[in-house]
Amino acid sequence: MRKRALISILGLLVLVLGGILLIPLGVALHHEESGEVEAFLLAIATCLGFGGTAYLSCRGSRGQLGPREGFAIVGLGWAVLSAFAALPFHLTPQGIPSYLDAYFETISGFTTTGASILTDIEALPRSLLFWRAMTNWLGGMGIVVLTVAILPFLGAGGYQMLRAEAPGPTADKLMPRIRHTAQWLWMLYLLLTLILVGLLTPVMGFFEGTCHAFATLATGGFSTRNASVAAFDSAYIDGVITLFMFIAGANFVLHYRLIMGRSLLHLKDTEFRFYTAVVLVSILGVTAFLWWGSYPDRLLFPGKYDTVGECVRYSSFQVLGVMSTTGFATADFDRWPNACRVLLVALMVFGGCAGSTSGGVKCIRVMLLFKFGLREIKRLVRPHAVIPLKMGGEVIDRAVIARVMGFLSLYLVVFFISVLLMATILGSSPADGVERVGELPSLETENSALLTAFGSVLATLGNIGPGLAGVGPTENFADIPATGKGLLILLMLLGRLEIYAVLVVLIPLTWRK
């Protein structure tokens, strides 16, 4: 491991963050938020001081970056950047008093999870709301990808960094030079963001339209309202955001090739067709349950699901909100029929396509898992047959299959261990509302704690945002104990960086020469 090279690049990342913080500083100046101006200036000075020192002290030893350095830069980079990016939330008088909570909120933004500890979002100053949404937007395409795009001297080392950060089994190169690939991805991302801002501004206003566009394209889900998108109660807004959540959940390489005039390759892409089919079938299924079923949310809001059109509106928004892992809410799906909740949990695991800004395990891996299982059944019937695994007419390399199966195995292990730990933390905490002295906890309380543990782990490891029970779509993560928040922070990183980049940092072998 070239440790000095690692420190040099981490210093560069912090310097880039210091430059980016000038944007929310401008928002604070525009709205004359003096306390926030001071907080952003102090955060910028801290970034420039620490980043500049780290970069200059190790500048001459950067050299060529290898795979270990790439994974280490990405794994440590997101954690380090979140530590500095949390400063404006913590330092401002109207911000977040607890630094742990500020760090949780920031890393939730960068990883596009959207899980929040804020009980009153609307009380935040506008500059902090903008920075909160911007953390979503920066994390969607990737801070490291942005750095690769703007720093030409990273050279081939940029590929190692992009490969470690890009979601999915493989990282596609659009252009011969990796820097140009990163630039084109960010240009496309910016173009789609501007289009969405233009569509939302007439109804939401420019400020809220921009914040929601940031959160939508990044599939992050940070809203400026306590009730999320439901606060606007607009079928137009729901429809526009639903469409762009679908776009954000698809592979951006397909969008790029469409814009470059290479026809509609989406229809030929096996993963995109699978993604679209799952979305459509899920919308139909949830709509049917909402239209014919009897459930708490319908009893609380009698006129909400009166027509098939309204059921389609709410079902399509929540299906895309969950499967794209955006996490916006227009209804409390935790009060929907159990069949809907089970289906939505499955979609949380699926996630969007590889190469998108969404979380989850990705549709391509789910497809490969299904195909692998079917092939094994066929081999039981015909043990001597050679049955290659194909995707879109092409044979899948064994190395890719091995990586996918390894990832899914690690994902399950991490998930179940985390649920066990979270259930233990919630069960032993006074936050569960049970008086332990002279009183036994009720079965309902224990079940709620278990469901909250399951939902919180699923929501953070999948970078979804809202979970179930105590962390459902109308709740937040404020009451989670400090140890639980620490675990969820780790899970958000594991989910966004798809486990490997974080685990590589934790393995002693990585740090040996």
pLDDT, tens digit, for every residue of 300-348?
Answer: 888 899 999 999 999 999 999 999 999 999 999 999 999 999 999 999 9
Of 296, 309, 66, 328, whose CA–CA distance to 196 is shortest? Answer: 328
DSSP sequence for 294-324: --HHHHHSTTTTSSHHHHHHHHHHHHHHHHT
Token pair listed for 412: 């399950």
Q: Quickly name the fold that domain 252-350 has.
A: Helix Hairpins (1.10.287)
pLDDT, position 199: 98
Mean of the pLDDT values across residues 272-289?
96
If you average pLDDT over residues 204-221, what whole number do you get?
A: 96
Measured in whole angstroms, the distance separating CA 236 from the mean position of its chain's CA atoms is 25
Extents of the domains making up the chain: 3-237, 252-350
Residue 299: C-alpha distances to residues 255, 293, 313, 334 (Å): 42, 11, 18, 14
> Rounded to 5 degrees, what are φ and ψ at 390?
-115, 150
Q: Classify residue 284 as exposed, middle or buried by CB count within 10 Å of its CB (0-12, 13-18, 19+).
A: middle
Residue 499 has pLDDT above 70, yes or no: yes
Burial of residue 323 (number of CB atoms within 10 Å: 0-12, 13-18, 19+): buried
Helix axes 270-292, 363-381, angle to 10 degrees: 100
> Poorest-confidence range of 92-106, 151-165, 321-335?
151-165
Per-residue pLDDT of 355-413, as tens digits, reads 888 999 999 999 999 999 999 999 898 888 888 888 877 888 888 888 889 999 999 99
Burial classification of residue 380, based on how many CB atoms lie within 10 Å of its CB (0-12 exposed, 13-18 middle, 19 or more buried) = exposed
Residue at token pair 């880039």: 16
User: Which pLDDT score is estimated for 35?
Assistant: 93
Q: Lowest mean pLDDT: which of 71-75, 117-121, 304-308?
A: 71-75
Looking at residues 246-263, what average pLDDT do you find?
86
Top mean-pLDDT range of 145-149, 310-314, 509-513: 310-314
Q: 98: pLDDT confidence band, cut at 50, 70 and 90?
A: very high
In terms of Cα–Cα distance, which of 368, 374, 349, 369 is closest to 359?
A: 349
Tell me, what's the pLDDT at 146? 62
- pTM for the model: 0.91
Amino acid identity at 76: L
Which helix (DSSP H) or strand (DSSP E) does residue 175 occupy? Answer: none
Percent of the chain with pLDDT strictly greater than 70: 87
Position 424 scores a pLDDT of 94
Task: Give the count of alpha carbons within 13 A of 230, CB side only.
Answer: 16
Torsion region of 359: left, alpha or beta (phi above 0 gives left; psi -120 to 50 gives alpha): beta
Whether residue 138 is predicted with pLDDT greater than 50 in this model: the reply is yes
Q: What is the pLDDT of residues 11-30, one digit of tens each?
A: 988 999 999 999 999 999 99
Question: Is the model's pLDDT at 170 over the cut of 60?
Answer: no
| Residues with Cβ within 8 Å of residue 304, at least 6 apart in sequence | 297, 298, 310, 314, 331
Q: How confident is the model at residue 432 (pLDDT cuts 50, 70, 90)?
A: very low
Question: Could you tell me which residue, 264 or 319, shows the higher pLDDT?
Answer: 319
Report the chain's mean pLDDT, rounded to a whole number. 87
